Amino acid sequence: MIRFENVSITYPGQSRPVLKDVNLEIPEGELVLVVGRTGSGKSTLLQAINGLVPHFTGGTMQGRVLVNGRSTSEHPPRELADIVGVVPQDPMRGFVADTVEEELAYGMECLGLAPDIMRRRVEETLDLLGLADLRHRALRSLSGGQRQRVAIGAVLTAHPRVLVLDEPTSALDPGAAEDVLAALQRLVHDLGVTVVMAEHRLERVVQYADQVVVVPGSGQPLVHGSPSEVMLGSPIAPPVVQLGRLAEWNPLPLSVRDARRAAGPLRDLLVGQHPRLHPVREVVPTIASAQNVSVRYGSHPALRGVSLEIGEGQVVALMGRNGAGKSTLLHSLVGVGPHRTGTVDVDGSDPADLRAGELLRVVGLVPQEPGDLLETSSVADECRLSDRDAGCDSGTTRALVALMAPEIDDSTHPRDLSEGQRLLLVLCIILAARPRLLLLDEPTRGLDYPTKARLAGILSDLSDVGHAIVLATHDVELVAEVAHRVVMLAEGEVVADGPTSHVVTASPMFAPQVTKILAPQAWLTVEQVEDAITCVRDAG
């Protein structure tokens, strides 16, 4: 169905190709997972499948890409639209209509299909993706998982043979992600659609893949094969694979189910051992508090009487389904967004009453799209602007960047940075003012495993020196790694609030992979298990 023949792609201004001598064949009806470091060339590989590279991105492409026999060099994207459907990372940016039904029909209108065909295909797609009850809903009123399914449906109505998706679960809660992946499974197994998907959350998707393609970056050769073959030697691996390597399981498990079947001896070995948890001080000064906070978007209640306190040095994770109120609570803590009732106090002040300069030193928010805070044409200019706004010594922000992301060059345009680099740059800009309270909204969206590990280390270091940190996230593995406490929200209300080890181990949906594998024992991370095994062996 898809064939890369000696493909090399070089962008303007670059001395070496981002992809070099790629030879790859993807059969019909397979789900192919594309993985690699942020900025390694995954998106380039995906965009070459529908001709966006090089027709719209520029640059040069040697070799050829064939999709169902058509060369993407000879056929621009509009001439491939009937066989290749593309679902972007953020569905809302691709929507053009107001309601679900209208969005599903729009692509067919562009292809000039007859009204009776359009009507039939809309009905088929509504049923296939479980969207029938949402047909008249406004797109902006949908949850993240619902939007993702609508985005998939909008390209499916054209009956493409190939579906290309970029990070389809990155902004979804675990339940919504499972819904989307189940829909993709139906397309592959029932309809024979070929699905090519780039995804950093390997723990969610690797067990569904027929083939894994690793893009190393810097023009290095691609590695591809079955998931078990590739994961065996890959430095990029989900916790279930890391645990399998630690326990020397053979074959290496790719799913929680397979790992649980092999985990009996490991559970026996861990009897009597206890996880090493984050040290938590019993009594700490309160840095921020919210008392009986309620927020409405029109007639929709987003928060309903939420109260919580955040102490010095605490890392608090806000979790819950898409639309539970996590981002709204962060906005209330920083003093922006719709009018709220109730009180918010951060370091003795209501953030909504503070001027910009004062606010920077009290509370800082790294938004879900960090690039929204970047406004100049170079990293160096962003750092200088940050120093001025924060009222700190010249060079402060640049020194933070050198510490957290030394690979970032001063002359680089912020929009040319990878997702992870933009996140770290904005984090440095926020930290330059040394706010007592740091807020992060979905901070691992679009981050590869190594960059996420670096972020986890930075957050732990900030906590150690007294910063209070609140994360709104669906990344259960990050929560297991860094959070002292979890606050679970549902329909704008707090439904659970307690130590991470208590809250996530009690939740089948939000438990990390290690917890699911070793239950009923309460382990959270591979590192905890590794420490315990070392203690057992040392004692023996």
pLDDT of residue 71: 94
pLDDT of residue 170: 80
Write 303-308 long-range contacts (CB < 8 A, 24+): 303/328, 303/329, 303/332, 303/340, 303/492, 304/491, 304/492, 304/493, 305/342, 305/493, 306/342, 306/489, 306/492, 306/493, 306/494, 307/342, 307/494, 308/487, 308/494, 308/497
Q: List pLDDT tens digits, range 454-468.
A: 899 999 999 999 999
Phi, psi of 52 (to 5 degrees): -60, -35
| Residue owning tokens 């004062």 | 358
- State how far the Cα of 279 lies from the Cα of 289, in Å rounded to an integer: 22
pLDDT of residue 264: 94
Residue 225 has pLDDT above 90, yes or no: yes
Residue (of 460, 461, 451, 392) closest to 425 by Cα position: 451
Residue 526 has pLDDT above 80, yes or no: yes
- Tell me the average pLDDT of the chain: 90
Residue 453 has pLDDT above 70, yes or no: yes
Return the minimum-mean-pLDDT range out of 141-150, 259-268, 349-358.
141-150
For the chain, the domains span 2-233, 238-271+512-540, 286-511
Q: List pLDDT tens digits, range 100-144.
A: 999 999 989 988 899 999 999 999 899 888 889 889 999 987 877
Residue (of 67, 79, 90) closest to 139 by Cα position: 90
Q: List pLDDT tens digits, range 326-364.
A: 999 999 999 988 888 999 999 999 999 998 888 999 999
pLDDT of residue 219: 80
**What is the DSSP secondary structure assignment for residue 370, as one 8-state letter?**
G
Give residue 168's pLDDT band: very low, low, confident or very high (50, 70, 90): confident
Residue 380 has pLDDT above 90, yes or no: yes
Residue (of 28, 185, 159) closest to 84 by Cα position: 159
User: Across residues 211-217, what is the average pLDDT?
Assistant: 92
Structural contact between residues 354 and 345, judged by C-beta atoms closer than 8 angstroms: no
Residue (of 4, 2, 12, 6) closest to 62 by Cα position: 6
Give residue 288's pLDDT band: very low, low, confident or very high (50, 70, 90): very high
Residue 282 has pLDDT above 70, yes or no: no
Residue 283 has pLDDT above 70, yes or no: no
Structural contact between residues 114 and 78, judged by C-beta atoms closer than 8 angstroms: no
Residue 429 has pLDDT above 90, yes or no: yes
Residue 310 has pLDDT above 90, yes or no: yes
User: Across residues 235-251, what is the average pLDDT?
Assistant: 91
pLDDT of residue 93: 79
Give residue 495's pLDDT band: very low, low, confident or very high (50, 70, 90): very high
Give residue 278's pLDDT band: very low, low, confident or very high (50, 70, 90): low
Structural contact between residues 197 and 188, judged by C-beta atoms closer than 8 angstroms: no
Residue 540 has pLDDT above 70, yes or no: no
User: Across residues 480-507, what is the average pLDDT?
Assistant: 93
Give residue 167's pLDDT band: very low, low, confident or very high (50, 70, 90): confident
User: Across residues 229-250, what is the average pLDDT?
Assistant: 90
**What is the DSSP secondary structure assignment for residue 23, as one 8-state letter?**
E
pLDDT of residue 280: 60
User: Across residues 216-221, what is the average pLDDT?
Assistant: 84
Alpha helices in 391-438 (DSSP H): 396-404, 419-431
pLDDT of residue 143: 73
Return the minimum-mean-pLDDT range out of 2-11, 21-30, 76-85, 272-281.
272-281
What are 462's two structure tokens? 């900030």
pLDDT of residue 82: 85
Question: Which CATH code of 3.40.50.300, 3.20.20.220, 2.40.30.10, 3.40.50.720 fits the domain covering 286-511?
Answer: 3.40.50.300
Higher pLDDT, 253 or 218: 253
Could you give the count of Cα atoms lying within 13 Å of 518 in the half-sphere of its Cβ?
Answer: 28
Residue 185 has pLDDT above 70, yes or no: yes
The CATH code for residues 2-233 is 3.40.50.300
Whether residue 54 has a cis bond before it, omega within 30° of 0: yes
- State how far the Cα of 488 lies from the Cα of 494, in Å rounded to an integer: 6
